[in-house]
Amino acid sequence: MTTYNETLIKQTFRLALGLSFILSSSLCLAGVYKWVDEQGNVHYGQQKPIDQSVKKMDVQMHAPRDTSSYKRAGSKNEEGVEGEQDPEAKNKETEEKPKKKPETAAEKKRRLAACAQARKNLATMQSSGQIRSKDKDGNVGYLSDEQKQARIKSTRDLVSKHCK
């Protein structure tokens, strides 16, 4: 048989344990503060600095909900059913797009040749330091870094266009 003191100790221990859980969970939700020091550096922390004015940050405690209208293959729709999109939206998309003619063998051959040439040009531009180029008058010069990056971008666009 337990004595009155033992029962009181057990109840006090349970109360202390419960309060510690409650207090520790509220400390986790204390917040994040942002402030700028005298040198202009931005700081973030969970404790307010004493001598600085602070701004309390709104920090999400959960992942944001996907509100985009784009439905990826394999994602679930509003009903929780896996699929691409609702049938009405799919029908509208197919109606709006003009029907493409199938590619002929000659067109495919030209496209694949353009793809191979674009990939070769891209590999050459990415592996070489300076790129030599002729202007309209036939003068040979070197491309600047900005011109080289623009040429690489346009070549990547050609690769994505022809190498489907």
The model's pLDDT over 62-78, given as tens digits with 9 standing for 90+, comes to 666 666 666 666 666 55
Burial of 62 (0-12, 13-18, 19+ CB in 10 A): exposed
Query: Cα–chain-centroid distance for residue 29?
Result: 26
Q: 147 or 50: whose pLDDT is higher?
A: 147
Calpha distance 143→130 (Å, rounded): 7
pLDDT of residue 94: 56
pTM for the whole structure: 0.38
Calpha distance 149→125 (Å, rounded): 9
Contacts of 82 by beta carbon, 8 Å cutoff, 6+ apart: 74, 75, 76
Q: C-alpha distances in angstroms, 87 versus 41, 74, 82, 97, 159?
A: 53, 15, 13, 16, 33
CA angle 119, 122, 126 (to 5 degrees): 140
pLDDT of residue 6: 84
Calpha distance 21→13 (Å, rounded): 12
Tokens of 50: 């004493």
Contacts of 55 by beta carbon, 8 Å cutoff, 6+ apart: 33, 34, 35
Rounded to the nearest integer, the mean pLDDT of the chain is 77
The model's pLDDT over 117-161, given as tens digits with 9 standing for 90+, comes to 999 988 888 887 888 888 888 888 888 888 889 989 999 999 988
Calpha distance 125→129 (Å, rounded): 8
